[in-house]
Structure 1
């Protein structure tokens, strides 16, 4: 049998790369989507059975061209993880409204466009996974997150609407809320002096995504939350 295919958006040096590695290790061919070609090509050279696809998920024409290329190279994905994220910080008076609109395109509209194209073959097969990575902004609107939280809340509600539609047809949709600072080079610089336990490890996020994607269909999760043991919540 040919290997199953996982399509992952927002593949960068952190969560996206960790997701790609975990699904490759689990026996998947991995289609990695992002805008940075050089970074994608480096990851492609490091991760077995992976392929880089340069794509701006705010551009519907690029989405269509990329999906055609993925299907030609690998076939239809049985797992789709929307990890691409757009974020802008500032209160509602300070932000550029255009930034919120762009974040909405990345976080919410890209999920809609990709799910509309990837779900039908999953439904026809009677199985598949659609997973979006999110954060606590999807559940609350703090003052300085006005350019970001509305798009993540809409993303989560859209994922729930998709889940209620395709779940009974055999397609598992889940929303993975990451309530933590992800361990990256730039976050280490942004939070100097913090202990290792303060950060969530990208590999640990990927492991939970793997678990969600392979749950028994008698016990599917939609809302999943992960955080370091020491996180105050």
Structure 2
């Protein structure tokens, strides 16, 4: 692939924005997917080579149409970063099944649909990258994560299956789990008594995602777990 096109979902004010900026700095043209048009316009104004697409990734029809538009306007996508996340907190007795289903659509089915649409061009090119961002809910089910952890675990296992399918064709799939409180305004308010190094910086997370996307073929990583040095694990 001569053009470097990166598609990033879930472009919010924290990790998503930082990922967009890091890949733009790396010479990529970046397609940003989010539901907030004002946020996308603001980022596109400040970050060269970025293009915003309003999209609800839980809606298959909308998502498919958006991916088609991205490819028509920018070219074949060489790197997909699925950062969009649907979450809810409560036990299985407290959270309605519809919430679990919606989270599954965002976290897992959206990845499934996008990969099916984008992978054929990557296979034909003999290269490409598909990365999912997650957290430790992909590895364990705590009592208040009943409508969230199952969808993140499914997301990770889907991506692992994709890695085994696509790896021999030169397409690198990886999962970057963030075991941390991410440094954004609302978490700063919630954890106001914590020092700076308690938080994971969005730009540092983005740097690791970029690193995984550019690993040499002789040393690909699938599972990457990152956390602040003082995190209890």
User: Cα offset for 1:73?
Assistant: 1.7
1:83 counterpart residue number:
83
User: Cα offset for 1:65?
Assistant: 1.3
- Please give the per-residue CA displacement for 1:171-227, whole angstroms capped at 9, x wherever unaligned: 000000100000000111111111011100000000001100000001100000100
User: Cα offset for 1:97?
Assistant: 1.1
SS in 2 for 1:186: helix
Q: Which runs of 4+ in 1 moved over 2 A?
A: none
Q: Would you say how many aligned residue pairs link Structure 1 and Structure 2?
A: 233
User: Cα offset for 1:68?
Assistant: 1.7
2:198 counterpart residue number:
198
1:111 counterpart residue number:
111
SS in 2 for 1:218: helix
Aligned CA RMSD, in angstroms, stands at 0.9
1:127–1:2 CA distance, 2 compared to 1 (3 A):
closer
- 2:42 pairs with 1:47: no
- 2:61 pairs with 1:61: yes
Matched residues in 1 for 2:95 and 2:148: separation? 10
1:2–1:126 CA distance, 2 compared to 1 (3 A):
closer
1:15 counterpart residue number:
15
User: Cα offset for 1:3?
Assistant: 3.8
Contact kept, 8 Å, 1:3 with 1:27, in 2: the verdict is no
SS in 1 for 2:12: coil
Matched residues in 2 for 1:202 and 1:172: separation? 23
With 59-68 and 209-218 compared, the bigger mean Cα shift is at: 59-68
Matched residues in 2 for 1:218 and 1:47: separation? 32
Contact kept, 8 Å, 1:134 with 1:175, in 2: the verdict is yes
Matched residues in 2 for 1:196 and 1:48: separation? 29
1:126 counterpart residue number:
126
2:147 counterpart residue number:
147
Contact kept, 8 Å, 1:183 with 1:199, in 2: the verdict is yes
Name stretches of at least 5 consecutive residues in structure 1 with no aligned partner: none
User: Cα offset for 1:2?
Assistant: 5.6
SS in 2 for 1:57: coil
1:92 counterpart residue number:
92
Name stretches of at least 5 consecutive residues in structure 2 with no aligned partner: none
Matched residues in 2 for 1:150 and 1:84: separation? 16
2:222 counterpart residue number:
222
SS in 1 for 2:210: helix
